[in-house]
Amino acid sequence: MDLGTDFVAPTVEWYALSPYIALLGGLLLLLLVGALTPRWRRGCYGMVSATTAGVAGVLAALQFADLGTAAPRTLVKSALAQDRFGLLAFITICIAVVFTSMTMADAAARSAADTAPRSTDSLEHYALLLTAGIGAAIMVTANDLIVSFLGIEILSLSLYVLAASDRRRAASQEAGLKYFILGGFASAFLLYGIALVYGTTGQTSLNDIGVVLADEVSVPRNDAMLLAGIALLLVGFGFKVALVPFHSWTPDVYQGAPTHVTGFMASLGKVAAVVALVRLFVVAFPSRADDWRPAVFGLAVLTLVVGSLLAIVQTDVKRMLAYSSVSHAGFMLVGLEAAGHIGSESAGDGVSAALIYVVLYSVLALGSFAAVSIVAGAASATSLDVFKGVAKTNPVFALGFTVLLLAQAGVPLTSGFVAKFGVIRAAVSTESYVLAVLAMVSAVIAAYLYLRIMVSMWLAEPVTVVPRTITIAGRLSLGVAVTITLVLGVLPTWLLDLGDSLTRLVR
């Protein structure tokens, strides 16, 4: 038998795949040209990385606009989904790469005056940003469990190396090692969960899994293997999203990693993991929502409460923001819990609310950690004392950072309020009143955390002097984050109008 005649090559739609090709092409160009030429001038590597991500983001935005009236579809034999839900996340990922390229260049410029400057402007670091972007892009659009796992591993391996990239600081290497060990455990849970789901359904495509489970009627129901697989998948993604009790790596890794890398992990990593988690459960397991929704409810409660309470007792700003990111993950899970009320007219609100929340939080995280990086300087000092009196030495900078902190607290007229209001409204619409109340209470508790940082900046006497002349990359990254935060907070209508189109996932 000639096996070659049985193979049917998949149809490749090059324009639909152009955002992925742009990221990969820019990465290969950077590695090839950078390896064959002398060391480039400072900032050139970052310019290539940012330009590559910008081109990919524009291509994704064009396709996002084209899908305004067109129905979602799949690409490459149903391996990838092309819908507005995934494309908005793709655009956010590209923005995160552009932001981090600028903040990384800013860190390199500020460390240039050191007697032994750190190698923050090396070719490999920017290449890893693009590699992580490719992995995250695959995760948010994957329509197959195997493809999703490949994206997770590409993203995770890149972040492990980036977390340990500051070779002169033992804390950075320790962060990379901790992240690698616990990330390996998470990958094992995910892979075992995929195996059990495949063993039960005989499918790895999310669409096909959903169809098989919807058509399956067994009396009495005997799906222990399937439920074990779903549980393992939830545990694996719980590590990636930093849900309680799978969050133990977050404060140590966030504190030890270079600050610009921390912002990258908090933004891009959160977007990829949350979007992939929501797509998995909404597309593949809607018929088992009554089984997984109580678990999501419990994880959301734990994450909201523990993240908020532990954040307010920290004395290091990076650890504060790390536990804050845990609390924010709880809000994102509130959206997923609302989406699990299959049959409710408001279930779709949970899908769009979770996506909008993680997109807006991504910008806040990038801007906040960019501000922390500027204050910390080359010494990487991030204790709360370092922020004392910052407003008296550089009031414009302090004002911008204050806006980002107020947004994370959910103050009206900021994007953070829009995000929190969306997920709480989705919970109320699906009658998850307990979860909605807990979300509001945890938001009040977490506000104390941001207030502590603001009081240190505005009311305490100066301990360190924030440079009045911040590099162009630093001003640009912080300024863009503040602008987006305020514009979307004051004029959120156009973003909220996308809600209905974001719920049309490939099924």
Query: What pLDDT was estimated at residue 116?
Result: 42
78 Cβ neighbours under 8 A, 6+ residues apart: 143, 144, 205, 207, 208
Residue pLDDT, tens place only, 429-483: 988 899 999 999 999 998 998 999 999 888 877 766 665 567 777 788 888 999 9
The pair of three-digit structure tokens given for residue 455, joined into one six-digit string: 């009081």
501 Cβ neighbours under 8 A, 6+ residues apart: 67, 68, 84
242 Cβ neighbours under 8 A, 6+ residues apart: 249, 250, 270, 325, 326, 329
451 Cβ neighbours under 8 A, 6+ residues apart: 409
Burial (CB < 10 A; 0-12, 13-18, 19+), residue 454, is middle
Query: What pLDDT was estimated at residue 492?
Result: 86
Burial (CB < 10 A; 0-12, 13-18, 19+), residue 451, is middle
Q: Phi, psi (5° rounding) for residue 142?
A: -65, 135
Query: What pLDDT was estimated at residue 281?
Result: 93
Query: What pLDDT was estimated at residue 10?
Result: 73
CA nearest 453: which of 408, 504, 410, 421?
A: 408
CA nearest 125: which of 41, 27, 53, 32?
A: 27
Residue pLDDT, tens place only, 288-300: 888 899 999 999 9
Query: What pLDDT was estimated at residue 304?
Result: 93
Q: What is the DSSP string of 399-465?
A: HHHHHHHHHHHT-TTSHHHHHHHHHHHHHHHTT-HHHHHHHHHHHHHHHHHHHHHHHHHHHSPPSS-
- Global pTM reads 0.92
Euclidean distance between the first and final Cα of the chain, in Å? 36
DSSP H helices in 111-219 = 123-141, 145-163, 170-201, 206-215
The pair of three-digit structure tokens given for residue 177, joined into one six-digit string: 């090692």
> Reduced to 3 states, what is the DSSP secondary structure of residue 86?
helix
> Reduced to 3 states, what is the DSSP secondary structure of residue 17?
coil
Query: What pLDDT was estimated at residue 3?
Result: 53
Tell me the C-alpha distance between 497 and 305, whole Å.
Answer: 31
Q: Which residues pair with 167 in a beta bridge?
A: none
Burial (CB < 10 A; 0-12, 13-18, 19+), residue 54, is middle
Per-residue pLDDT of the chain (507 residues), as tens digits, is 455 556 677 777 888 899 999 999 999 999 988 888 887 777 788 888 999 999 999 999 999 988 877 777 888 888 898 888 889 999 999 999 999 988 887 777 666 554 444 445 688 889 999 999 999 999 999 999 999 999 999 999 999 999 988 877 888 888 889 999 988 889 999 999 999 999 988 888 998 898 888 876 555 555 888 999 999 999 999 999 999 899 888 999 998 888 888 999 999 999 999 999 999 999 989 888 888 999 999 999 999 999 999 988 888 899 999 999 999 999 999 999 998 888 777 788 888 899 999 999 999 999 999 888 888 765 567 888 888 888 888 888 889 999 999 999 989 999 999 999 999 999 999 888 999 999 999 999 989 989 999 998 888 777 666 655 677 777 888 889 999 999 999 888 888 777 777 777 766
Count the Cβ atoms, other than its own, within 10 Å of residue 115: 4
Q: Which residues pair with 316 in a beta bridge?
A: 383
Query: What pLDDT was estimated at residue 466?
Result: 63
